[in-house]
Structures are given as structure tokens and as C-alpha cells.
Structure 1
Amino acid sequence: MKHLDINQIKEIIPHRHPFLLLDAIEDYEPGEYAVGYKCVTYREDFFAGHFPQEPVMPGVLTVEALAQTGAVAILSLPENKGKTAYFGAINKCKFKGKVVPGDKLRLETRIIKKKGPVGIGEASASVDGKVVVQAELTFMVN
């Protein structure tokens, strides 16, 4: 298994605080897949307004975390060094559970199709083995 810490992740993808939504990559294969984690804490800025009475991580940020995980897989290819992976589409997205402070969000994105600079990733986020988000993410590398 190939592990990446936060500094190594920052060498691959351009995201930075407060929008870097990965804490570690547990395993990855360039151009194929990546498995990462986000440790969700109450100190996340978005919890101040989403929702003050019941803090829940916005689903769109979970999707973004999945996209960043896929970006690690695709941008770790030598030919993509220094490039950015942009969203092309979000399809078949299903929200199946909440993500709250204290959760360790497991993020897995597998690249299932590539043609030139465009590709599709099959993505799944889970907490304690329970899937909370699934989606098909289309990306464009530039």
C-alpha cells in the first residue's frame, strides 16, 4: 500500500486550506484509484452555519472530498504533474447518511474510464463501514 501524508498530497493536487478536504491517502495507484480519509472536527468553518443546532457536513463538500481523492489518483500520473482536474459532471449521486463532527470519513474513488483529458471516477464515501455518499464523477485534466 502506498501512503501519502498531507504534505505529499499538496505536492499532487492544488487545493489548500480551507478547501483541502483530505487528511491522508491510505492507498493509491496512479491513474487507477485512491483511498483517503478526512477526519471531521467541530472546528470546520462550515459547521458554524450548517447547521448551528445540528452540525452536518454539507453533502456537496463530501462530493468535493471524493473528487479530490480521485484527483490524487489521476494527477499522480507523471504526465499530469502540475495540472488540475476540474469537474465535468456529477452523476448518479446519492446521499445515504449524515457526516457529523467526530466522524472519520473514508473516501474511495476508482477511475473507471479515461479518454484523453476526460475521465470518469466511481466514488464512495463511508463512515464506520456505512456508505454515506455514492457518485459518478466526470473530470477534465488541464
Structure 2
Amino acid sequence: MSHDNASSPPSPEFCCWIDQERLKQLLPHQGNALLIDKALVYPQKYRGDGFLTTALAMHVFDGHFPGRPIMPGHWLIEFASLTCATIFTVSSGIPITGTAGVRIVSIDGIRFKAEVRPGDKLICEATLIQRKKILALFSATIRTRAERKEVCRIKELVGILV
């Protein structure tokens, strides 16, 4: 697999902030399923960061360790997946319409390193490692923004654009 962009890219400093309204247009997720607040994408570097501020009122904490709620691991994986899908969509330049979007087909090497509690502010740092047409291989690390404490690492996340 290799990156498809053969033309000379703009300056490496080029990046784009994507707010939640734009994320609703790029991703086939709405409401509680849109588990990402905003993203910063560097299309020419094939990487980006997703941002999420957690709160006790979020559905992900409902009933999960009452009295001392922690965010379930599968929601951390979803946050990473949405970050990767945003990078893939923006860097591919392929318009997404209707129910089209990036689907996860494989995840390997997941490690949970720390608990996420209500009020934690998270950053997901994701890199597109390889791409071939509609397939993309990513790595991702989720950290707390304040302490930069690693909470989750995904060695390989493969998505397909459908």
C-alpha cells in the first residue's frame, strides 16, 4: 500500500480545523453517535488530532461503574475510529454523500492504559500509515490533554471507504 497523492503537496504547515457542524457533514454520525467535538487535520502529513471533552451527562457513562463512572473501552475505540475516518475523508478528497463513509474492518493491538472519567479532556493522535484506494491503515493514541497521559493505544486500525 502507498499514499495515493503523487502531486506536490502544499506547504506542510497546511492544516484545517473541523468543527462539529462540519463533522456532521463529513461523517455518517449524528447525535450521541458523533463522539468527537472537533478535529485538526494535516492532509499532506496524513495525520490529525480528534478532540473530545467528556461529561457525566454523556450517555457513555450511564450505568458504567455507578458512583465512580469510567468511560467504556469500546467508546474510546469509537472516538479513535471517528478521528481516523475524519483524516481519511479529508485527505482522500473523495466526497461523502448519503450513508457513505468509512467503516472499520479490522483493529489490532489495542491497549488500555488508564481510566477516562467524566470531565477528562481527550486528544486522539492518529496517523495514516498506508493507503490503497479505498483502504486505509492507521495507528492511534488517545491521551488526556492536560497531563498528556496515555489512556489507549491502537497499533493498527483498518478502514474502508464505502
Query: TM > 0.5 between the two?
Result: yes
Q: Which amino acid aligns with 1:101?
A: P
Q: Matches of residues 13-28 of structure 1 in structure 2 within 5 Å?
A: 13-28=27-42
After TM superposition, where is structure 1 displaced by more than 6 Å over at least 4 residues in a row?
A: none
Q: Which amino acid aligns with 2:121?
A: K
Which structure has the bigger radius of gyration? 2
- Could you tell me which runs of 5 or more consecutive residues in structure 1 were left unpaired when the two chains were aligned: none
Q: Which amino acid aligns with 1:26?
A: L
The superposition leaves residues 109-131 of structure 1 with CA deviations (integer Å, 9 ceiling, x where unpaired) of 11101122211111110012011
Residue in structure 1 matching 2:132, options 115, 121, 140: 115
Q: Which amino acid aligns with 2:94?
A: E
CA apart distance, 1:30: 6.6
CA apart distance, 1:43: 0.3
Q: 1:133 to 1:47 in 2, by over 3 A?
A: same
Q: Matches of residues 55-134 of structure 1 in structure 2 within 5 Å?
A: 55-76=69-90, 77-82=92-97, 83-127=100-144, 128-134=147-153
Secondary structure of the residue aligned to 2:30 is: coil
Q: 1:19 to 1:30 in 2, by over 3 A?
A: farther
After TM superposition, the structure 1 stretch with the greater mean CA deviation from structure 2, 113-122 or 78-87, is: 78-87
The answer for the alignment partner of 2:5 in structure 1 is none
Query: Identical aligned pairs, as a percentage?
Result: 27
So what's the TM-score if we normalise by structure 1? Answer: 0.93
The superposition leaves residues 40-86 of structure 1 with CA deviations (integer Å, 9 ceiling, x where unpaired) of 00001121211112110111111110110010011123224333111
Secondary structure of the residue aligned to 2:16 is: coil
Secondary structure of the residue aligned to 2:31 is: coil
Kept in 2, the 8 Å contact 1:3–1:28? The answer is no
So what's the TM-score if we normalise by structure 2? Answer: 0.82
Q: 1:104 to 1:68 in 2, by over 3 A?
A: same
1:9 maps onto 2:29 in alignment: no
Kept in 2, the 8 Å contact 1:31–1:73? The answer is no
Q: Which amino acid aligns with 1:39?
A: T
Secondary structure of the residue aligned to 1:121 is: strand
